Amino acid sequence: MTTTDPGGPGTALPTPSHTVGPFYGYALPFPGGGDIAPLGHPDTLTLRGYVYDGAGDPLPDAFLELWGPDPAGNVPDVDGSLRRDQATGGHLGRNGVEFTGWGRVQTDADGHWYARTLRPGARGRSAPYVSVCVFARGLLTHLFTRIYLPDDEAALAADPLLSRLPDARRDTLVAARERDGVYRFDIRLQGEGETVFLEFA
Amino acid sequence: MPLTQQDIDAEIAAEHAAYARRVADGAPVEHHPRRDYAPYRSSALRHPRQPPVTIDVRRDPELVELRSPAFGERDLSAVDDDLTRHHHGEPIGERITVSGRLLDRQGRPVRGQLVEIWQANAAGRYAHRREQHDAPLDPNFTGVGRTLTGPDGSYRFTTVRPGPYPWRNHVGAWRPAHIHFSLFGPAFTQRLVTQMYFPNDPLFRYDPILQSVTDDAARQRLVAVYDHGLSVPEFSLGYRWDIVLDGPDATWIEEGR
Ligand SMILES: [Fe+3]
């Protein structure tokens, strides 16, 4: 089945997505991938959760990328998330000073992930959130979602995405506060309580 | 009953026929795999059943997803783009040069962005602890590389041609030789993880992962072309593979698409 694209002239046709497969583990994750917050920053928060499949089993072979603004709502343009040692070729880790806004975290053997990042500030009309991209063996195309923080009900109520969703679906995008600065966000790929996933157009 | 290649072939053919009917009925071209593609068994419990919620980025230009993380020289070390030089000795296998350009949907080069690759060795074995295929490991090959795209969006890697490898989707399942690619664009919405294949591989038609791209033209875009001009005399064979990132970026708003 060969088809022509409906896009206009000059439109380049996209390269299809493929699953990340089972063997990315020695290639993509890096030490300190979830330690996004600069050391000792007062606005640091911990995000953690599980990724579950449609049978309710946790995924030991998924990873997430987190991407968010700084506490003032500014988007970082700082590199250095993956700093390398020029002498050995190994990973140096982040420098603990600069905030790159981006991190990559694997699920553990029991499906649990965690990250420490800075509390995101609000941007535009949206309530504060961290953008998430989910990859896994078995997932032919990655999935986008968002982690909203539960602290400001008025901001959540006014958010252009959340306000479009029925309550039960909306709640899948709002992290649960476990204690000061620690939030739980589980991702359910399929079935009951399925997380809301996003596409951008 | 163990699942045979014939079973999977029939399922692949049914998925292709279903796509042909959708398009004939006026449905849009599908450039990407559907996440619920049954011939790839691992997708069964890992695809959402609810449709994704669409965000029209033109309504909010401040979305953090319209920007992307930055990568720079300090995120690389000097030989990260030459996978044949990561150990003291030379890896076994046919040396190849893989190069191309990273572009957006408008055909514009994507500059200064991170490209990560990983692959099996020439015998079809990954340097991964969970890999059970009993082909030999190569002490001189890990199979991980990264680079940044140049001002014209170009990237270039030196590596060895990976071998095909068996997997357990069904009895007799073999993946065609491929290199995994991870890419970033100017917007996080353009994020892409995919695989590059080599021309004329006889395993293409049997592989449910490649066939999950049901559109023939789209599937062909995953296959590199042999490019004699890229071959390095007395050193490597050249393969060219251009990559086009999907998804909106900030300029979609200015141009109103
Ligand atoms: Fe692979």
Tens digit of pLDDT at every position of chain B (257 positions): 799 999 999 999 999 999 999 999 999 999 999 999 999 999 999 999 999 999 999 999 999 999 999 999 999 998 999 999 999 999 999 999 999 999 999 999 999 999 999 999 999 999 987 777 899 999 999 999 999 999 999 999 999 999 999 999 999 999 999 999 999 999 999 999 999 999 999 999 999 999 999 999 999 999 999 999 999 999 999 999 999 999 998 876 665 44
- Out of A7, A89, A120, name the one closest to residue B77 (CB): A89
A101 confidence band (pLDDT: 50, 70, 90): very high
Neighbours of B73 (CB within 10 A): 13
Asked if the structure places residue A73 within a domain, the reply is yes
User: What pTM was estimated for this model as a whole?
Assistant: 0.96
Residues of chain B with Cβ-Cβ distance to A55 below 8 Å are 45
> Is residue B192 less than 8 Å (CB to CB) from chain A?
yes
Long-range contacts of B1-9 (CB under 8 A, 24+ apart): B2/B170, B2/B171, B3/B41, B3/B169, B3/B170, B3/B171, B4/B170, B4/B171, B4/B172, B5/B170, B5/B171, B5/B172, B5/B173, B5/B206, B7/B170, B8/B39, B8/B169, B8/B170, B8/B173, B8/B206, B8/B208, B9/B205, B9/B206
Radius of gyration of chain A measured on its C-alpha atoms: 18
Is the CB of A139 less than 8 angstroms away from the CB of B47?
yes
Tell me how many domains chain A contains.
Answer: 1
Asked if the structure places residue A77 within a domain, the reply is yes
Residues of chain A with Cβ-Cβ distance to B219 below 8 Å are 16
Q: What is the pLDDT, as a whole number, of residue A88?
A: 87
Q: Would you call B175 a catalytic residue per the annotation?
A: yes
Q: What is the pLDDT, as a whole number, of residue B22?
A: 98
Q: What is the pLDDT, as a whole number, of residue B189?
A: 98
Q: What is the pLDDT, as a whole number, of residue A1?
A: 43
CA–centroid distance, residue A129 to ligand 1 (Å): 33
Q: How far apart are CA A187 and CA A53, in angstroms?
A: 9
Q: What is the pLDDT, as a whole number, of residue B255?
A: 57
pLDDT digits (tens, 9 = 90+) for A24-70: 999 999 999 999 999 999 999 999 999 999 999 999 999 999 999 99
Task: Examine the pLDDT at A8 and tell me if it is beyond 80.
Answer: no
Q: Would you call B165 a catalytic residue per the annotation?
A: yes
Q: What is the pLDDT, as a whole number, of residue B103?
A: 97
Asked if the structure places residue A196 within a domain, the reply is no
- Backbone φ and ψ for B159, nearest 5 degrees, come out as -155, -165
Task: Examine the pLDDT at A5 and tell me if it is beyond 60.
Answer: no
Is the CB of A16 less than 8 angstroms away from the CB of B60?
no
Q: Give the mean pLDDT of A120-146.
A: 97
Asked if the structure places residue A32 within a domain, the reply is no
Long-range contacts of A147-154 (CB under 8 A, 24+ apart): A147/A47, A147/A66, A147/A173, A147/A175, A147/A183, A147/A185, A148/A173, A148/A174, A148/A175, A149/A45, A149/A119, A149/A120, A149/A174, A149/A175, A149/A183, A150/A174, A150/A175, A150/A176, A150/A177, A150/A183, A151/A177, A152/A127, A152/A128
Mean pLDDT, chain A, integer: 94
Q: What is the pLDDT, as a whole number, of residue A2?
A: 40
Asked if the structure places residue A11 within a domain, the reply is no
> Is residue B162 less than 8 Å (CB to CB) from chain A?
no
State the distance between the two ends of chain A, measured CA to CA, in whole angstroms.
Answer: 26
- Out of B47, B71, B77, name the one closest to residue A189 (CB): B47
Asked if the structure places residue A136 within a domain, the reply is yes
- Out of B104, B191, B212, name the one closest to residue A140 (CB): B212
Its sign, for the CA torsion A71, A77, A82, A87, is negative
Structural domain harbouring A156: 44-188
Is the CB of B48 less than 8 angstroms away from the CB of A143?
yes
* Both structure tokens of B23: 């398009």
For B117-156, letters b (16+ CB in 10 Å) and e give bbbbbbbbbbbbeebeeebeebebbbbbbbbbbeeebebb
Q: Residue A139: which CATH number?
A: 2.60.130.10
Residues 81-120, chain B: which have Cβ within 8 Å of A?
86, 103-107, 114, 116-118, 120
Q: Which residue has the higher pLDDT, A1 or B148?
A: B148
Share of chain A above pLDDT 90, in %: 92
CA–centroid distance, residue B96 to ligand 1 (Å): 17
Residues of chain B with Cβ-Cβ distance to A141 below 8 Å are 32-33, 35
Task: Examine the pLDDT at A102 and tell me if it is beyond 60.
Answer: yes
Asked if the structure places residue A5 within a domain, the reply is no
